[in-house]
Amino acid sequence: MSLKQLPYFTLWKNTASYEDGYVVGLEPGTNFPNNKAFERE
């Protein structure tokens, strides 16, 4: 894979329950996770 194929990178986390632990996701992608109007803000 190259930067041209996957030019965007998303970091997400779910911290809903600190007692049970939390989840962090690192995901390369072809676009942002939200629609264009939201990302422009």
- Report the sign of the C-alpha dihedral through residues 15, 37, 29, 3, in that order: negative
Determine the average pLDDT of the residues in 24-28: 92
Q: Is the separation of the CB atoms in 16 and 5 below 8 Å? A: no
As a whole number of angstroms, the distance between CA 6 and CA 2 comes to 6
Residue 10: per-residue pLDDT: 92
As a whole number of angstroms, the distance between CA 17 and CA 8 comes to 28
Determine the average pLDDT of the residues in 9-27: 86
- The greatest distance separating any two alpha carbons of the chain, rounded to the nearest whole angstrom, comes to 40
Determine the average pLDDT of the residues in 17-38: 86
Residue 25: per-residue pLDDT: 92
Residue identified by tokens 């264009």 is 36
- Per-domain residue ranges of the chain: 8-40
Residues belonging to the chain: 41
